[in-house]
Structures are given as C-alpha cells and as structure tokens.
Amino acid sequence: MNLSLLLLGASLALTSALQYPPSCDQTCQHLAEAGSSYETANNVDPSLSFYAVPSNFTPSLAPGTLLKLELATPMTNYSIPSGLSLSRILYTTTDLNGTILPTSAYILWPYLPFQLPLPNKKNNKDKPPSGGGFPIVAWAHGTTGLFPPCAPSNYRNLQYHFMVPFLLALQGSVVVAPDYAGLGVSHLPSGKQILHPWLAGPAQANDLANAIIAARTAFPSQLHPSGAFVAMGHSQGGSAAWAFAERQAHSPVPGYRGTLAIAPSPRNFEQYEMALANHSLPFAPINQGLPPKLIAAVTAVFPAYNYSGLTDVAYERWNGVLKPIGGCFATDTLVFSEFQTTPQKLAKPNWQRDGPVQDFKKLTDLGGKKPFKGPLVIYAADVDEIISYEVVKGAVAETCAAMKGKGKGKEELEFVTYRGSNHFPIIQASQQRWLGWVRERLFDDSEGVGGRRGHGVGGCKTNEVVEGFRQEFTFKTFLPNFLDSWVDPDLSKEGWKYI
C-alpha cells in the first residue's frame, strides 16, 4: 500500500477515536480531521519512533550531551534534493528554568561542503584539516506548532525547504537545525510531558547552542569544536537567533562569526497590545488570535498557570482537540478559524496582566539593555502581516541607545528594512544578501580561526532601506511558498495548508 495512504489511515483512526468536547461541533471535527490528515501525510513517521528518549538520559547530564545519533537518515520519505544527505540527533538542552531536557535536531549535509582555508594545509574531503573543518549555519526555524509531531526533522521537506536549509546546503554549508524542546521528543522517561515554550527566544537559543555542541560531538572529524559557524533564523527562529546573540555574551559557543535574524518577534506582548488597540494594523488580525498559543507557552514555563487565561471554549479546543491529535500550525488555524471575527472569545479580559504572563514577558523580551555578541544583523519587512515592524524597529533603537553606554560600543548591529516586503517574502527578497553574508562570515579568518573582520569597530547602522525593483508589479502575499499559491490560487478554500 502507498505510504501516504497508510499515514492518512493512521491519522483518520486517531481523530475518529477522539472524544471531542461539546464545544467542537461537526464542522469543528471535520476541520480538525482535515488538518490532521494533511499534516500526517507530510510527516516522515507519525509514530515518532526516533524521538523516544534513550535510557542514557538523566537530568544530571551537561547541556549539549549527545544522546542518540542517526548517522544516515533514510531518505525514502523525505523530499530533499538529490546530493544532500541527512542525519538526526537527540541531545540535551536547558529550558528557561535551567532544567535539563532531551530534544532533537537534524544535520543537513551538502554534496560538496565548504572547507575553511588554512595556510599551508591541504584540504582532504574525508578528513578536513585540524582547526578548520566544515563550517556550520545554525538554523532556527519559524513556528510549526506546539506539539511533538511539529518537529521540522520529521517534515518531508524540513519545513523551510528551498527557502533556507536546502539552499544553504546546496551552497556548501552544513546546516544544524534544532527542532526545539517539546517538538519531536514528547516525554521524559518519568512520563512527564515536555511542553514547547513557544516564542521563548532564550529557550530556543539554548536549543540552538546545544545542537551545535552535540553535532560537533557526533561528527568530530567534520565539525571542529571551534570551527566557524553563524546563527540564522526567521520569525520565531529570528527571535531565537537574536536571543542567541545575547546568549553569546554570557555563554559563548566557540567559533561564532555572527547572527542574522530575519523578521524576528522581539517583544510579543507589546505587539499583541498594539493589535488590540488598533485593529487596522496589518499584523492585527493574526495577532489577535495568538492567545491560545501564548497562554500555552506561559504554561510550559510556569505549569501552575495551567492555561488560566483561556476561556472555557478555547481551553476545550486546545486541550480537548488540538493537543490529543498533536495538531500543528495548519490544524491550529482550522480548529480556531471560527473565532477569526470574535478573537475576544479566546481569552479572558486582561489575561496578559496575569503575574506568570508578565514573568514570561520579562524572560523573553529581547533587546534594550541586554548585552549581545555581534555582529548582529536584523532584516525586517515594513508591511509584515505577522510581525510588527514598529516593534522590531523600537527594540533595535533601544538596543542601540544602550550600546552608547560605557564599554558597550564594541559590538556591531545592523538593521535593514525591506520596503514593501512581507513576512515570508522577505526571505527571498534578502536572499542574495544573506547568502553573501553567510559566506563572508564563515570564510573571514582575518583574526585567525574564529576571527571576525572589522570586529571592534562597533556601533549601529540602522538607516538602510532596500527598495525592491519593480515592486509595484510583483505578486503580493505573506505565505511561505509562492509555488503553492500559484498551484492553488483560491486560497479561501485551502490557504491554511500554506501557513
């Protein structure tokens, strides 16, 4: 039997066995099953067998400890370009509370990796010279969902496909990409569930850092312990990347050459408040529907909060529908679609003022007086329909103002505005530039292995605006895959598949 049919059957069996809560009528049930079936068909293994925590895990292990290595991931069920290959790892990371957790990541290998040039050293494709090795792009993905099946390493196309990871690997980079804690690996050996702290940039920065360390342990001949790497991310991953630059200031990973954050969300609650205050803002419609995910993220960090900010109907949809089927972003969109015009039914009034929510905000807000290690490059789209451009710009301005203090001027921050671009299209709009930036950073050895050209000059450059050529004639969308939009132009029917 065709694998897709087997996966579809498994998904339908799961959803049909679910005892739906009273608030989920037949329409709600149909939407949940449609989303779950679509997502399951795009998973490599819905059973998530690879992500079972091995017996060698203990909570006393150091972060970045390698737990499990899949040396050569079978490619049969992946849609990855020929010539590239894949490995998967389980490793330890830390959450915002410092607790050791098991999590997962993938390593995407190029056909012909870059090899860092070293004086008087002859490169060998099988065993790179000591001190060099293959350079890494540590890739932080955007939102997939909040449940275990939403791990990009279990997606046929690794979620961002040719937009980022395939392109980076085809250009010669080794891509190390964490799934994030709570995605993929679902439970501790004790049976306790690992919840994903969505949009908690510092937690995802830990996942990113520890994935690099564990990948180097898994492949010591190819990935040198102090080999060159850059961090890069988009959306939720952009926030993770920004937080990673801040993490480097106090917990550095050797070999760091810089960070690139594309369309990051540095201050989620400030953005949410703006959306509530002005419904006409371009990002307001989507942000008004975020409370279930934000409240679930707060609960992941502060379990005693227990989704207190949700209304009864939103609680039932989250814990009685979405959680049991492990629904990711597409299913999430469908299950809550009836509240698009009544987002006030999702959360209790002033839930964002709750103590644990404010504590979560303090832990996860980025920029301002928090020190970071540069160079930090931030790309923002000025018509972003998901992220507030003004919030990003304000966080950058506060960070630059803080850098003028004593001893803080040596770091470098660059902020670039892409005029007329949107949340996902900015990835393509900036592609030429970030590909060049990655290569330049990885191959710059002006200060020896790990050096950074110009580091020490410091300061902020925030006024650059990129004007797109013939933007008045281009196709406008905020969706991630323009090819999907072309194949299915009637997005009113199945646009949820492409979010």
- How far is 88 from 347, CA to CA, in rounded Å? 38
pLDDT score for 126: 44
pLDDT: which is higher, 126 or 406? 406
Summarize the confidence of residues 364-368 as an average pLDDT.
97
Q: Could you state, in order of their start, the residue ranges of all structural domains in the chain?
A: 42-118+127-227
Starting at the edge strand that comes first in sequence, how are the strands of the sheet with 256-262 ordered? 66-70, 85-94, 100-109, 174-178, 136-140, 229-234, 256-262, 376-381, 412-419, 459-467
User: How would DSSP label each residue in 431-462?
Assistant: HHHHHHHHHHHHH--BTBTT--TTTTS-EEEE
pLDDT at 128 over 60: no
pLDDT at 494 over 80: no
Confidence grade of residue 16 (pLDDT, cut at 50, 70, 90): low
Confidence grade of residue 117 (pLDDT, cut at 50, 70, 90): low
- Based on C-alpha coordinates, what's the Rg of the chain? 22
- How far is 456 from 414, CA to CA, in rounded Å? 14
pLDDT score for 406: 52
pLDDT at 124 over 50: no
pLDDT score for 471: 84
Confidence grade of residue 416 (pLDDT, cut at 50, 70, 90): very high
Summarize the confidence of residues 263-286 as an average pLDDT.
95
**42-118+127-227 — its CATH code?**
3.40.50.1820
Summarize the confidence of residues 75-90 as an average pLDDT.
96
393-407 pLDDT, tens digit each: 999 999 999 998 655
- How far is 228 from 243, CA to CA, in rounded Å? 19
Residue 412: name the closest of 451, 450, 381, 454 by CA.
Answer: 454
pLDDT at 409 over 80: no
User: How would DSSP label each residue in 188-230?
Assistant: -TTS-B----TT-HHHHHHHHHHHHHHHHHH-TTTS-TT--EE
263: tokens are: 């369309």
pLDDT at 161 over 70: yes
Contact 213, 219 (CB under 8 A): no
Residue 67: name the closest of 83, 78, 51, 82 by CA.
Answer: 51
Confidence grade of residue 439 (pLDDT, cut at 50, 70, 90): very high
Name the one residue in this structure whose structure tokens are 């404010």.
358
pLDDT score for 120: 42
- How far is 209 from 287, CA to CA, in rounded Å? 29
pLDDT at 456 over 50: no
pLDDT score for 484: 58
Confidence grade of residue 115 (pLDDT, cut at 50, 70, 90): confident
pLDDT at 127 over 60: no
Whether this prediction's pTM lies above 0.85 is answered by yes
* Mean pLDDT of all residues belonging to the chain: 89
pLDDT score for 233: 98
